[in-house]
Amino acid sequence: MTAIFKRTILICYLICGFLTPEVLKAEKRHPFHLSSTEVEYNPKSSTLEISCRIFTDDFETALAKGNKVKVDLSAESKHKAMEEMVKKYILSNIAVKGNAKNLALSYVGFERDNEAIVVYLETEPVKALRKLETTNTVLYDLFDDQSNIIHFTVNGNRKSAKLDYPNRKLVTEF
């Protein structure tokens, strides 16, 4: 009798032991795939200041796809090592044209904010911004239901739009 009881407990332990990590992972996953980008025109420097907010777990998964290094954007001790991966990924997935001219993007850095990573960029100067073409494919390589929301603020005028996979480009006039 005790042998059957011990075997039953062992089987339950094995089943629960194998399922628990997956169940916990499933509970931690968010049901939507979204990034949010703020693009703000700075009239003093004539540049666009860009911040892109991405869920940390999704961003780490996307970065890990192309690298053999363990990705950990939360560990302060690994921040410097992660900089190059973040920079390369963001600069290959975000592009901006101002008044029909490609604008060079400068990577400023990234920081963790709760469950998200915020990446900061800045463009070269663009005078009298009237038309802005934005390309945003952040996490398109990971999810086919990805949505990227973009908020623009130019001369106090705020506009918002959403790019749903597979749409990549957005043209906004001010």
Residues 72, 2: one domain?
no
Total structural domains in the chain?
Answer: 2
Domain co-membership, 128 together with 163: yes
Shared domain check, 98 and 12: no
Q: What pLDDT is stored for residue 10 in this prediction?
A: 44
List of E strands, the chain: 34-42, 47-55, 94-98, 101-103, 105-113, 116-123, 131-136, 147-154, 157-164, 169-173
Q: Is the pTM of this model over 0.85?
A: no
Residues of the domain holding 60:
31-173
Distance, CA of 54 to CA of 68 (rounded, Å):
21
Query: Same structural domain for residues 47 and 6?
Result: no
- Do 39 and 118 fall into the same domain? yes
Instruction: Identify whether residues 72 and 3 lie together within a single domain.
Output: no
Same domain flag for 38 and 24:
no
Render pLDDT for 64-93 as a digit per residue (tens, 0 to 9).
Answer: 997 888 999 999 999 999 999 999 999 999
pLDDT beneath 50, residues of the chain: 5-6, 8-14, 16, 18-27
Whether 83 and 44 share a structural domain: yes
Same domain, 88 and 120: yes
Placement of tokens 């990573």 in the chain: 117
Is the domain of 35 the same as that of 106? yes
Q: How many angstroms separate the Cα of 18 from the Cα of each of 12, 13, 29, 135?
A: 10, 8, 18, 42
pLDDT at position 88 is: 96
Q: Same structural domain for residues 24 and 84?
A: no
At residue 27's C-alpha, the angle toward residues 26 and 29, to 5°, is 65
- The confidence score (pLDDT) of residue 32 equals 85
